[in-house]
Structure 1
């Protein structure tokens, strides 16, 4: 009976195949046509790397890609620092006044439409007369991604045994030293996973960046969108393939870091 229940039926296999095709077939087609030698996007002209060469010779695209990487790395670092501190406050300070309001404000970007977030940040920057550019995009992306980091780190902190820190304090550590010596090494993989998630979300964002960017600070998604509006060029397929590859690597590394964090959390749990 159990063996029969574990077997995949024809219906389940078909549903799985259709689901995977719906999700990944467009990406696979994009990757294949990024190696198309023809200048016409829909006409196959043989295998070629010419459009990758075109991309690396396109200074405007390279500048936009470099801007996106800088923004993503900087905002992910700030989001990881602030999100980790917020997760610690919510996990270790369960009884402080205003906790519900704080958590609601922290997690608001999870459900807030990006158009609303981008418009509100734009109005803020205009009100304080801030020049829009690299740092305004970084602040906007930090606001967007900090809550995702907090969710990842708070989940890991919730799975750890608080008595580990108490034992360290009984042995003479103050609370800060106990956290740095005991808890932080156990949550480092989840912190790294949060950074990679924030990096990926920042690299992918178009809506919020389009509200908060300024002259000379266009990110790669904005540049790609402006190019596509004039017609899809084969070079765009090559650029998107490189972005997909980069994000895939980041996601794989984040998944591995999360599994390592799970294993450490279980090994640290009392028997």
Structure 2
């Protein structure tokens, strides 16, 4: 069974990472074709002089950051409110929260498009201009990111020891101060996880962005899709390689910091126990 499990894991990992490795290799290909003709780094150099790709990357990053920050704030507030609801109402709201996640993206994208078209006509009757672009992209991304934040924060709220909050209030904190100084630190891992998930889904999104983007502002995924009708530029391969390396570096740093924090926590626990034994003696 060992060889079977190892073979399965090997095939699975190859299926996941072989396409990425091929993309990285072809980002250094000297030609634009599908045959590797020689090693070069010119596509990385040309990438920084391609205004269209850099604009799409800038749009993707700005939309992802703004929508993720707002979705994190809204989702955290919603999770806190849901935690204080009675069981029946909470069950209903939870089911509604799952709908945007389970709902096919194509339906979500078309729904947003129809909503924004209707809003555009409504603003036009008042003599105001409403165009597809930054606003529509950010609003759409906030909406489909909020449920992911809620689902990450709620488990941490269930694990929260409310006696700590009550103790802080007994020591002179008002409810807001107790939340900001005590509760927020206890649920911080869930908030960070929700933010990172929202950021990832926002940068990765194509379907919703395709239906809500404008002519002047396109995300990277929409731009790459438009390129597939002709030929994808090798500069996209170079950009994808840089993004992959950046994500890999961030993951390594986060894992190292988590290990360091765990070791520090274990050391503090052992030191505290040792001091307690000495005190008893």
- State the TM-score, normalized to the length of structure 1: 0.85
The residue number in structure 1 matching 2:272 is none
Deviation at 1:65, TM superposition (A): 0.6
Q: What is the match of residue 103 of structure 1? A: 94
Counterpart for residue 84 of structure 1: 76
CA distance in 1: counterparts of 2:50 and 2:200, whole angstroms: 23
Q: Which residue of 2 aligns with 1:5?
A: none
Q: CA deviation at 1:84?
A: 0.8
CA contact (8 A) 1:188 1:261 kept: no
Structure 1 residues not aligned, in runs of 5+: 1-7
Q: Is the 8 Å Cα contact of residues 36 and 45 (structure 1) preserved in structure 2? A: yes
In the alignment, is the contact (CA less than 8 A) between 1:37 and 1:44 conserved in 2? yes
Distance 1:97 1:118, change over 3 A: same
1:196 aligns with 2:189: no
Deviation at 1:253, TM superposition (A): 6.4
Distance 1:78 1:254 in 2: 23
| Equivalent position of 2:212 in the other structure | 212
Partner of 2:31: 38
SS in 1 for 2:187: helix
Equivalent position SS for 1:199: helix
CA distance in 1, matches of 2:80, 2:136: 27
Q: Conserved in 2, the CA contact under 8 Å of 1:190 and 1:258?
A: no
- Kept in 2: contact 1:186–1:261 (CA 8 A): no
1:70 to 51, 62, 70: 62
Q: How far apart are the structure 1 equivalents of 2:26 and 2:245?
A: 15
- With structure 2 as the length reference, what TM-score do the two structures score? 0.83
The alignment's C-alpha RMSD in Å is 2.8
- Post-superposition offset of 1:46: 2.2
Q: Which has the larger radius of gyration?
A: 2
| 1:120 aligned partner | 111
